[in-house]
Chains A and B, each alone.
Chain A
Amino acid sequence: GAGVSQSPSNKVTEKGKDVELRCDPISGHTALYWYRQSLGQGLEFLIYFQGNSAPDKSGLPSDRFSAERTGGSVSTLTIQRTQQEDSAVYLCASSPWGTSEKLFFGSGTQLSVL
């Protein structure tokens, strides 16, 4: 595709429900990142995938958060038992190799937990 695609663009859910957010990176990009931007806050690293290597999960805020990347391409971020503090914009980015190169960001998923 032409750019990084994220879906859905908006998600409203009830507290306690599980949600899945999807990211489709630029074809051929081996590095994929998830970030979170809470209202009025800066960007926060969540998780990093590089090719077939084990992901760097050190930014995930709790064990309710998980992510996978199938076939080195599409990634899914799953939040279980959502809480109101999970409300934020979740951004995905990809790059050809890593952060030693420019990142290409998706438009984000606005998650609202009621």
Chain B
Amino acid sequence: KNEVEQSPQNLTAQEGEFITINCSYSVGISALHWLQQHPGGGIVSLFMLSSGKKKHGRLIATINIQEKHSSLHITASHPRDSAVYICAVNKGGSEKLVFGKGTKLTVNP
């Protein structure tokens, strides 16, 4: 079993829909990262969380340390949000990120 599990693997939505991507992990962590990888391959760091909730524009990330679970929400989704969203965790104190396999999001106009 992977230490970081994401769901769903693939997600198709209509423009304007509210999107939720989930990440569960089975190890103690010091931080969790949400990354976005566009079809061209470039990776952008969206959030780094160690507790609570962060918001940036239409994106919201939450983490529940006790339940070992994080969610990434996209409000009012747009076709330009189409990308692979990757969850990654630092295993307690380690600098070695462990990555989920990603969630491929397609937002149709």
Contacts and interface: CB of A to CB of B under 8 A. Distances in A.
B8 to A, nearest CB: 15
B70 to A, nearest CB: 15
A45 B90 contact: no
B95 A105 contact: no
Interface of A: 31, 33, 35, 41-45, 48, 50, 56, 58-59, 89, 91, 93, 98-105, 107-108, 110
Contacts of B95: 31, 33, 48, 50, 56, 98-99
B30 A100 contact: yes
A100 B31 contact: yes
Contacts of A105: 35, 42-45
Contacts of A107: 41-42
Contacts of B88: 43
Contacts of B30: 100
